[in-house]
Amino acid sequence: MTDVDSGSRTAEPGPRADPPGAGLDDPGVVRAWAHGATAALRREREAIDRVNVFPVADADTGTNLYLTLREGDRAVAAAPADATGPRLLATLARAALLGARGNSGVILSEWLRGLAVAARRGGTTADLLTRAAASARSAVAVPAEGTILSAADAAGAAARAAGPDAGPLPVVTAAAAAARASARASRDELDVLRTAGVLDAGALGLVLVLDALVVAAAGAAGAGGPAVGDPDAGGVSVVRGSMDAVTLDQLLDAGALPRVPGAGDALSSAPGGEAEPHGAGSGALELMFVLTGPAGEQADTVAAGLRGALAEVGDSVVVVGGDAGTGTAVWQAHVHTDHLDRALAIAADAARTGTLAQVHVRHLAAAGQHEWGVVAATSAPGLAGELARAGAVVLLTGGVGATVEDLVADDVERAAASTGARRVLLLGAPGVTAGTDALDVDELITVPSATDVHAVVALAALGTLLPVGLPDQAGDPVDAHAVVGEALAGLTVHDTSAAAAVDVLEQAAGPGTIVVTALLDAGVPGHLADGLAAALGGCAPDAELVVLSTGRPGDGVHLGAETVAPEPEVDA
């Protein structure tokens, strides 16, 4: 695991041992902390989501922090019984990195990695918290104050100010109190928070994580407090020296309670009365990917190179990870971008000697809790943005000029959780079986969709129904599965070449054709779209033609004809 040197002003050379006590070298503390912090974030995720306005008001910071830490907690729970505290921290950090979701989750995973690096070196609790803050800050291309980074810095500084003779419990207590104070002050440090009247969502999440660490350390030291193994123990705060279970509302009462944004608050009034996304100017698409490559000296430069390259095509850039000490290095990258093709090219270039996995594309404006969600898997990078804008969380399985690892159930489960929905349709991944036991969803339905045409038609059928789940005019809930099934029932798909595409279209379309979807690979001549439109006008003049580029190499053409049965004739 590569160290991350960020030039922290508070760092001191050389490790020194903690005084006797319950620190993060104690495996029981690490296990209890991971469990308690995950429980706290699970309980408060919706409250954190509601105050999420930075860097994008996509109402998912609490969910992303919870999903990220949940991956780490599961890995710690599955670790060998004799694993040491430092080993468990490394396990926690690696699993959080691989399972990180969103800007906030990626930052939290790097904060955990900083803890693990310092623990491997034998540092004190103060060293660990200082290194964690430095690592998190170094991972962000353009750090902002009044965020989770500020809360982490405050925690690290308070931990070191506790003094060299302080035991772990006083150190983490001071750190948690300082993070809480930083979170309360965040509204005065960041204009977007001041305008919205809220505190920073990421900082609030870190407060809960640190509060859970206080509880774990206190429990191990015999200082009382709630039972560490109790899920309800997560999210307790140390207030005036006593352990009191609190909620975020109580924490926020220390300042003024923020205005709780409603469902429409992701949009703000723009000049001229038009609505535009809050924080306009940010990239509309979120791209995340895991990069695995060889370890060694060159691994040290990968994160910085990725960070700089992605910052040229988007914002909210975070790159975390490095050499894990196992012969391979692993990084997680995150960017908001309007230039998905360029961002994917950067990912592919970084993977020249390695592989990509969990290549995840999401449209930020489509985020939010709703009844139905869609996960779409495709090897067509040119379609990823289109599918994401239609409301799907997209998993890219290839077509990016680099080796992309095969999808596994965990990839699908994470994408399903990222939809924020209770019921999820899975398109384009028939060979992957994912359950719902490990998910925060009620149902995951695999829709037979052998081609990208199926995915495009399915999303088009849902149209403005995503996010769906609201009653229709008759008062019945919308059944997205039924809507998609009806659309696909009338679909026939034909794969052909550019040279034969017009002839194939004329044979496939007829009087009952209502829509033809044409997906064109990158080598298809530009004039073919006009030829297809002319051919369709001749054989089905009332049909609509939808033409999209797959971005894949080659001259393939993938045609989907949607046909309705003619109305039966009625005898006069």
Residues 6+ apart with CB under 8 A from 242: none
**Distance separating alpha carbons of residues 400 and 336, to the nearest angstrom:** 18
pLDDT in tens, 441-456: 788 888 887 899 999 9
**Is residue 323 a part of any domain in this protein?**
yes
Q: 129 and 92, same structural domain? A: yes
Contact 456, 519 (CB under 8 A): yes
**Distance separating alpha carbons of residues 452 and 529, to the nearest angstrom:** 18
Structural domains counted in the chain: 3
Q: 64 and 183, same structural domain? A: yes
**Is residue 189 a part of any domain in this protein?**
yes
**Is residue 13 a part of any domain in this protein?**
no
**Is residue 119 a part of any domain in this protein?**
yes
Query: Which parts of 419-569 fold into alpha helices (H)?
Result: 452-462, 480-489, 501-508, 528-539
Q: 529 and 457, same structural domain? A: no
Q: 248 and 197, same structural domain? A: yes
**Is residue 532 a part of any domain in this protein?**
yes
Q: 148 and 133, same structural domain? A: yes
Calculate the alpha carbon distances from 281 to 139, 276, 277 in Å.
22, 10, 9
Predicted pLDDT at 279: 36
pLDDT in tens, 128-140: 999 999 999 988 8
Q: What is the pLDDT along the chain (572 residues), one digit of tens a residue?
A: 333 333 333 334 444 555 455 688 999 999 999 999 999 999 888 888 888 777 766 667 888 899 899 999 999 999 999 999 999 999 999 999 988 888 889 999 999 999 999 998 888 999 999 999 999 998 888 888 888 999 999 999 999 998 888 889 999 999 999 999 999 888 888 777 877 878 888 999 999 999 999 999 988 776 544 433 333 433 333 333 322 333 455 455 444 333 333 333 332 222 222 223 333 345 789 999 999 988 776 766 888 899 999 999 998 898 988 876 667 889 999 999 999 999 999 999 999 888 999 999 998 876 555 678 889 999 999 999 999 988 899 999 999 989 999 988 888 888 888 887 888 888 887 667 665 555 567 888 888 878 999 999 988 888 755 554 444 444 566 788 888 888 888 899 999 999 999 999 999 998 889 999 999 999 999 899 999 999 999 989 989 999 999 999 999 999 999 987 555 555 54
Domain end residue (candidates: 452, 485, 518): 485
**Is residue 272 a part of any domain in this protein?**
no
Nearest to 208 by CA among 242, 179, 174, 171: 179
Q: 325 and 289, same structural domain? A: yes
pLDDT in tens, 16-64: 555 455 688 999 999 999 999 999 999 888 888 888 777 766 667 888 8
Main-chain dihedrals φ then ψ at residue 546, nearest 5 degrees? -115, 120
pLDDT in tens, 371-400: 788 899 999 999 999 999 888 999 999 999
Q: 440 and 500, same structural domain? A: no
**Distance separating alpha carbons of residues 444 and 426, to the nearest angstrom:** 7
Nearest to 506 by CA among 453, 467, 564, 545: 545
Q: 331 and 402, same structural domain? A: yes
Helix H or strand E segment including 412: helix 409-418
**Is residue 123 a part of any domain in this protein?**
yes
Give the residue carrying structure tokens 């067509």. Answer: 380
Q: 547 and 504, same structural domain? A: yes
Q: 119 and 147, same structural domain? A: yes
Q: 388 and 320, same structural domain? A: yes
User: Which of helix, strand or coil describes residue 136?
Assistant: helix
Domain end residue (candidates: 485, 520, 543): 485
Rg of the chain over Cα atoms, rounded to whole angstroms, equals 26
Q: 494 and 477, same structural domain? A: no
Structural domain boundaries, residue 426: 285-485
**What CATH number corresponds to the domain at position 238?**
1.25.40.340
